[in-house]
Structure 1
Amino acid sequence: MSLKPTTCKEAIARWERETGQTAAEATVVELQFQWPPIEKMDGALSSLTACEKLSLSSNMIDKIAGIAGMRNLKILSLGRNNIKSLAGIETVSESLEELWISYNVIDKLRGVAALRRLRVLYMSNNNVKEWVEFNRLQELPQLRDLVFIGNPLYDNQPDVETWRNQACRRLDQITKLDGIPIVRPDAE
């Protein structure tokens, strides 16, 4: 017997029952670890107009969708899903400050430049293999905190120091890499 995936609408209704809150008015909505897992982000999420932090981690979601109405969204947590690309994230580019998207299958960072306000990007354990993709992060002027370990690009460096030097040289706006503060020599 196979179980039907949980829809976003069902997950929101379940969350409201469990918390006693109205989802449309809540600033934090946690829909992680649904059983059966959510497979599709859909328009039901757009009803979360007051939401500043949305967690959909540990589901089976394969693409970002349905968040266009979330004008107050600052933190989006999508770790441990099956997401292949950042397509769809641009609909919250005016408000999003933190994207937690580790443990997915993302190999390209096309579209990341739309996230002009992004300060925190946790995307360890994805499939980014090439510096040309990593370099797209240069288009994020507010980015300060990046976690990138566990990507093939990181794993293919001879050692951690080589990785840190390369990454910091390419992203001079970041102040923290893989959880460790960056100490830069003072400009002469």
Structure 2
Amino acid sequence: MSRATTIKEALHRWSEQNEGADPTQAKDIQLQFQWPPIEKMDGTLSSLVACEKLSLSTNMIDKIVGVSGMKNLRILSLARNYIKSLNGIESLGETLEELWISYNQIDKLKGVESLKRLKVLYIGNNSIREWGEFNRLQSVATLEDLLFLGNPLVENIDETAYVREIQKRLPALKKLDGENLLTEDD
């Protein structure tokens, strides 16, 4: 198989596709569907200081690294990769508002508590099996929209019980799996 695309190569392609735009000045950078796929995030990402939305979906990335310099990042899309944990996400704790990380291999949510502004978490179709892990989301007071279906934790629970259990654990949640939740005020 051919060797993986590096972040540097992907950014060079992005620049060519965007009429020579400088990625360090861009607010929205789309690096999904690279061929050959990106296998590793690296420190090159920290040069993207103006970036507010970064997509690295549908690659072969297994770890979150190299994002500590991305001081303006609000939306990070890492769906459809091989990521096993949220380690490395902590450096985005003050800015990240949306994390799209469905279809990975995440089984632990350690690190999510550092995301002080997170409003949207799409983490469906991962490997979360325990309510103890799910409960880490309780420390994210700003969370409003959660996509969680497809995790082993909820495979054998009926929908009504599932929704009730999630609402009990995350009472401020407004949207679950794409559906608006009724609150006491409604």
TM above 0.5, yes or no, is: yes
* Equivalent in the alignment of 1:121: 121
2:41 corresponds to 1:27:
no
Q: CA deviation at 1:111?
A: 1.0
Residue of structure 2 equivalent to 1:130: 130
Q: Look up the SS of the partner of 1:3 in the other structure.
A: coil
Whole-Å separation in 1 of the counterparts to 2:38 and 2:2: 11
In the TM superposition, what are the counterparts of 1:83-98 in structure 2 within 5 Å? 83-98=83-98
Aligned to 1:148: 148
Ranges in structure 2 where 5+ consecutive residues have no aligned partner: none
Match of residue 102 from structure 1 = 102
Give CA-to-partner distance per residue, 1:89-116, whole Å, 9 cap, x none. Answer: 0011110000000000000001110001
Q: How many residues align?
A: 185
Partner residue, 1:6: 5
Q: How far apart in 2 are the matches of 1:177 and 1:115? A: 19
Q: Name the SS for the 2:134 alignment partner.
A: helix
Deviation at 1:185, TM superposition (A): 2.7
SS in 1 for 2:132: helix
Distance between the aligned counterparts of 2:43 and 2:8, measured in 1?
Answer: 9
Three-state SS of the structure 2 residue aligned to 1:44 is helix
- Write the distance in 2 (CA, Å) between the matches of 1:147 and 1:69: 28
Amino acid in the other structure paired with 1:14? R
Task: Specify the SS of the correspondent of 1:99.
Answer: strand
TM-score (norm 1): 0.97
Q: What is the aligned partner in structure 2 of residue 175 from structure 1?
A: 174
Q: Percent of aligned pairs with the same residue?
A: 57
Residue 73 of structure 2 corresponds to which residue in structure 1?
73
Q: Distance in 1 between matches of 2:116 and 2:184?
A: 27
Shift in Å, 1:173: 1.4
In 2, the alpha carbon distance for the partners of 1:185 and 1:148 equals 22
Q: TM-score, normalised by structure 2?
A: 0.98
Which residue does the alignment assign to 1:59? 59
Question: Per the alignment, in what secondary structure is the counterpart of residue 76 of structure 1?
Answer: strand
The aligned runs of 1:37-56 (5 Å cut-off) are 37-56=37-56
CA distance in 1, matches of 2:185, 2:100: 31
Counterparts of 2:110 and 2:185 in 1: how far apart (Å)?
A: 33
Provide the rounded CA distance (Å) in 2 between the counterparts of 1:180 and 1:89.
27
